């Protein structure tokens, strides 16, 4: 009886062992397993200021959830704001100077060339009139010389009672009349020369105004260059002010705070680290012998040690190079000594539904189906 019971127990154990062996063989044929499993994310981002400075405030703590665009940290911008206001005042003052210079230039340059041409025409016309008046005076002076001789002769004849008073008076009147006429013409000529001098003064003023217009144009261009330089400097300061703020680049959670308020930091120093919890995936190291049948989209069961739970996932991609490819000290096979080792490849697995309790850096195990269903 005891022998029979022992045989029955042995048979049951044998059957269970065979069943388990068959199950393991089937499982091994249909699934690839690995315990080199790590929770990763591509969205883990270190945030920093692009300029050095003193941290005025950090508005979040580790573990805080933030929305895209939320202000996370700020540098002290008092000096930059003072510099900005000073530049704005300089720019406004320079704009007023440029405007005043343009108004003055436009006022001086209005019809300036036309006025110069008109004055030159008037001078040429007056030169002709002056020349004609000089010839006229010269002709009258020649006539006056003849009348002067006649006047002297007639004076002697009249004293000697050889001519009548009427003839003497006619010559005398003609002489003094022509003399007065010449004096009047000389005054007219003098006035014409004064007019000419006045025109030259006007011409000189117009020419000086033209030079002043050129000077003002050059001055305006110079001030405009200064204005561009100030605007460039203002843009540079505004860019520095803009770079004194850190905003959340996406919806996520603060993973790490590296610095605190009132600390002085260099440009590029890590201030905060942010991660998107919706962007988690599992990175698996899998031997090359287990890659057969694994394709994108294949089902995967993910077990996370920290939570003790299983999660559904799928193969997202198989990375194209083995882990050893990126080793700091690659294997040297040039000597001919070679030990064949199974290489391990990275397989990226996505969660079908992002779990709330899984964090970046957790580890576990994975079972990947080698068939697609």
CATH placement of domain 30-43+277-369: 2.40.30.170
Higher-pLDDT residue of 206, 102: 102
Higher-pLDDT residue of 356, 17: 356
Distance CA 327, CA 329 (A): 5
For CATH 2.40.50.100, list the domain ranges present in the chain: 45-75+251-275
137 phi, psi to nearest 5 deg: -65, -40
Distance CA 363, CA 347 (A): 14
The 8-class DSSP code of residue 353 comes to S
Distance CA 181, CA 139 (A): 12
For 284-298, how does the pLDDT look when each residue is reduced to its tens digit (9 = 90+)? 888 878 778 788 888
Give the least confident one: 143-157, 279-293, 309-323, 332-346.
332-346
- Does the pLDDT value for residue 48 go beyond 60? yes
Query: SS3 of 303, please?
Result: strand
Average pLDDT rounded to a whole number, residues 153-169: 85
pLDDT at 165: 85
User: What count of residues does the chain have?
Assistant: 373
Which CATH architecture is the domain 45-75+251-275 placed in?
A: Beta Barrel (2.40)
- Quickly count: other Cβ atoms within 10 Å of residue 36's Cβ: 16
As assigned by CATH, the class of the 81-241 domain is: mainly alpha
Distance CA 110, CA 156 (A): 68
For CATH 2.40.30.170, list the domain ranges present in the chain: 30-43+277-369
- Does the pLDDT value for residue 140 go beyond 60? yes
For CATH 1.10.287, list the domain ranges present in the chain: 81-241
Tokens representing 264 are 């002085």
Tokens representing 80 are 């930059």
């Amino acid at each position: 009886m005891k022998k029979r019971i022992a045989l029955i127990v042995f048979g049951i154990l044998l059957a269970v062992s065979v069943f388990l062996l068959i199950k393991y063989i089937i499982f091994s044929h249909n699934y690839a397993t690995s315990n080199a499993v790590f929770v990763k994310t591509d969205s883990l981002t270190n945030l920093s200021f692009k300029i050095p400075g003193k941290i005025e405030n950090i508005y979040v703590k580790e573990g805080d959830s933030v929305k895209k665009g939320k202000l996370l940290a700020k540098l002290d911008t008092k000096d930059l704001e003072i510099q900005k206001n000073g530049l704005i005042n300089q720019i406004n003052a320079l704009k007023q100077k440029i405007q005043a210079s343009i108004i003055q230039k436009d006022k001086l340059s209005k019809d300036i060339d036309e006025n110069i041409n008109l004055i030159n025409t008037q001078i040429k016309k007056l030169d002709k009139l002056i020349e004609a008046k000089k010839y006229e005076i010269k002709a009258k002076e020649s006539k006056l010389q003849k009348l002067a001789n006649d006047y002297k002769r007639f004076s002697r004849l009249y004293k000697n009672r050889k001519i009548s008073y009427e003839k003497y008076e006619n010559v005398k009147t003609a002489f003094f009349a022509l003399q007065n006429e010449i004096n009047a013409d000389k005054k007219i000529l003098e006035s014409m020369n004064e007019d000419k001098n006045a025109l030259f003064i006007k011409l000189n003023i117009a020419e000086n105004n033209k030079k002043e217009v050129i000077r003002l144009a050059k001055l305006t261009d110079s001030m405009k260059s200064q204005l561009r330089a100030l605007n460039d400097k203002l843009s540079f300061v505004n860019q520095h002010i803009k770079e004194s703020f850190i905003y959340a680049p996406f919806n996520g959670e603060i993973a790490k705070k590296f610095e605190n308020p009132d600390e002085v930091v260099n440009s590029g120093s890590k201030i905060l680290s942010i991660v998107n919890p919706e962007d988690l995936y599992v990175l698996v190291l899998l031997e090359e012998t287990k890659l057969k049948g694994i394709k994108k989209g294949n089902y995967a069961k993910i077990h996370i040690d920290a939570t003790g739970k299983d999660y559904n996932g799928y193969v997202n991609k198989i990375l194209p190079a083995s882990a050893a490819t990126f080793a700091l000290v690659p294997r040297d096979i040039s000597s001919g000594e070679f030990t064949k080792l199974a290489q391990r490849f990275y397989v990226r697995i996505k969660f079908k539904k992002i779990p709330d309790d899984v964090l970046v850096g957790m580890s576990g195990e994975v079972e990947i189906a080698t068939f697609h269903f």
